[in-house]
Amino acid sequence: MGVEIKETPVPDAEFDSMKEFVYEYLDASVKNETEGGRMRWYPWHSAEYRFNHTLNVVSLAEEIARKEGADVDVVRVAALFHDVAKLDADQDVHAEEGARVAREYLSSRTTVPGSFIDRVCDAIEAHSHQGELDALSLEAQCLVEADLLDKVGANGTALMLLRMGYEARTHMDAATIVDRVYERGREAVSRVESDTARSMAHERLKRVRWFREWLESEVPEMDCEPPEGL
């Protein structure tokens, strides 16, 4: 008896079209902004940053989904659309609005089944969930964990250091900024449920610790005690 091969409902070419749509939607959100709110001058409130974050989350979520036995197709499409409304909706409703955009796109521009669309949209709506992750579907859990992980480690450190310049802070505050990344990482470790995400989070925390140690050894005048455990 042969091994049954699951056919993906979203071929790579169609997924590429979705990527193009998501970037264009984010870019239009910025261009249509008239009030200049939500700290538009910060680089992570640009279409470029938000799209890069999205691609990071797609990659992380796919890896977690594969290793944890979740539906990779559902997870990667949900990850791609999870922040599509981030730049034109209020923070507390951007997940629901993102699910609405995804449903409209998938229903009108693809032939994926309705049940697939429902699972994708459920995961998107759940990605800003603040409670226990074991209350979510496995696919939603993978997405939330990936979203958390992108904010810690080397990437999170680089973004926080970039923010220093926009806040007119000097490099002498760098240790405090790195400490924030570490604390955020510890919070992520405390929230993730899967073994895969927990392992990834610990690895990213190591990188933050190493950077903090190197920084302290090269800038001895920084007067900042590291947080407990760092």
Which parts of 82-194 fold into alpha helices (H)? Answer: 94-109, 114-126, 138-149, 153-166, 174-191
Tell me: do 187 and 93 sit in the same domain: no
Question: Mean pLDDT throughout 202-228?
Answer: 76
End-to-end, the C-alpha distance of the chain in Å comes to 54
Give the model confidence (pLDDT) of 145-201 as tens digits: 999 999 888 888 877 777 776 665 666 677 777 888 888 888 888 899 999 999 999
More confident residue, 107 or 188: 107
Residue 37 has pLDDT above 60, yes or no: no
In a domain, residue 143? The reply is no
Tell me: do 30 and 82 sit in the same domain: yes
Tell me: do 184 and 98 sit in the same domain: no
How many domains would you assign to the chain? 2
- Domain ranges, residue 174: 153-218
Please tell me the predicted confidence (pLDDT) of residue 178.
Answer: 81
Candidate from 34-38, 107-111, 158-162 with smallest mean pLDDT = 34-38
More confident residue, 119 or 225: 119
Mean pLDDT (the chain, rounded): 85
Tokens of 10: 């979203």
Give the model confidence (pLDDT) of 54-90 as tens digits: 999 999 999 999 999 999 999 999 999 999 999 888 8
In a domain, residue 203? The reply is yes
Q: What is the distance between the alpha carbons of residues 48 and 53, in angstroms, rounded to a whole number?
A: 9
Only one residue has tokens 């990667």, namely 76
Tell me: do 22 and 121 sit in the same domain: yes
Full DSSP string of 59-106? HHHHHHHHHHT--HHHHHHHHHHTTTTTTTS-GGGHHHHHHHHHHHHH
Residue 2 has pLDDT above 70, yes or no: no
Question: Mean pLDDT throughout 41-60?
Answer: 85
- Tell me, rounded to whole angstroms, the distance of Cα 172 from its chain centroid: 29
Question: Mean pLDDT throughout 117-146?
Answer: 93
Candidate from 2-16, 35-49, 50-64, 183-197 with smallest mean pLDDT = 35-49
Q: Give kind and range of the element (H or E) at residue 30.
A: helix 12-31
Tokens of 129: 């969930």
In a domain, residue 230? The reply is no
In a domain, residue 209? The reply is yes
Tell me: do 25 and 120 sit in the same domain: yes
Tell me: do 111 and 54 sit in the same domain: yes
Residue 223 has pLDDT above 80, yes or no: no
